[in-house]
Structure 1
Amino acid sequence: MALLDDLADELARDVLAALDDLGDDRFYEKVAKSVGELSPTLQEAFMTSIRLRLAERRGRRTLETALAKLRAGSA
């Protein structure tokens, strides 16, 4: 369902963007609980989007760290 995925992903992007400002790296769990009270379906889609985006962030950091080490060794 396109609307479900769009809503969940938009909310996930907004929540992840706010994590640093809020100083709470687990705030998305509070949002998931709030969403789940009205729509377990949206909650699951939201959590899937959060997990995907957090995994991508972690992978990107790993890549950037490896490249920085490589470049530092080449300099």
Structure 2
Amino acid sequence: MLERLVATAGQAMRVRKLGGNRAGEIRLSRFLRNAAIDPQAMIDEAALRTASRCADRHIRRWCAPAAAVVFICTR
């Protein structure tokens, strides 16, 4: 799912597109609707992973079409 989310960055996010196919759409919908899923915990985890991947790197900000802001990590 993460790879599909990254691939669709800057575009409208749709569960169908992120799921990849009908079965993936159903799985993702059930996951996101699960009461045990904490959106803030998902955001926090993504932030931690991003920070660890960007440690000791120079970060450049780039504004892509469709008003998306992308941060590029370079060594």
Q: TM-score range by the shorter chain?
A: under 0.3
TM-score (norm 2): 0.26
Report the structure, 1 or 2, having the larger helix content.
1
Higher relative contact order (CA 8 A, sep 6+): 1
Higher normalized strand content (fraction of residues): 2
Report the TM-score, using the length of structure 1 for normalisation.
Answer: 0.26
Larger radius of gyration between Structure 1 and Structure 2 = 1
